[in-house]
Amino acid sequence: QVRLVESGGGLVQTGGSLGLSCAASGSIFSRNTMAWYRQAPGKQRELVATITYGGSTDYADSVKGRFTISRDNAKNTVYLQMNSLKPEDTAVYYCYLRSNYPPYDYWGQGTQVTISS
């Protein structure tokens, strides 16, 4: 069984930075896509950033130029470096892994990120 263990999160002032990490464990098909989602109060979950096994990335328009997603394939770990944080970045951030074999989606438990103004 695949498990995603997140670390990071907390309260940061506007303009500050915060780094999140998520380590995947279990029987993992290495050629996978990992991502970060977030869900703010009263809003549906949205995709923040994705990264493929080969390192190709994609970002939501709202975080381009501020957030950086990266991964360490040897450690099955994905990172999200968040800079120039804004109050609208406040949300629960979820780690995500898309497995090709077996085809399935795995989610972390979520970690709260709060940006104070």
**What pLDDT, in 10s, does the model give residues 71-90?**
999 999 999 999 999 999 99
Phi, psi (deg, nearest 5) at residue 54 = -80, -5
Q: How many CB atoms lie within 10 A of CB 17?
A: 11
Residue 93 has pLDDT above 90, yes or no: yes
Q: Residue for token digits 């994905």? A: 78
Beta-sheet pairing, 10-13 with 111-116: parallel
Residue 27 has pLDDT above 90, yes or no: no
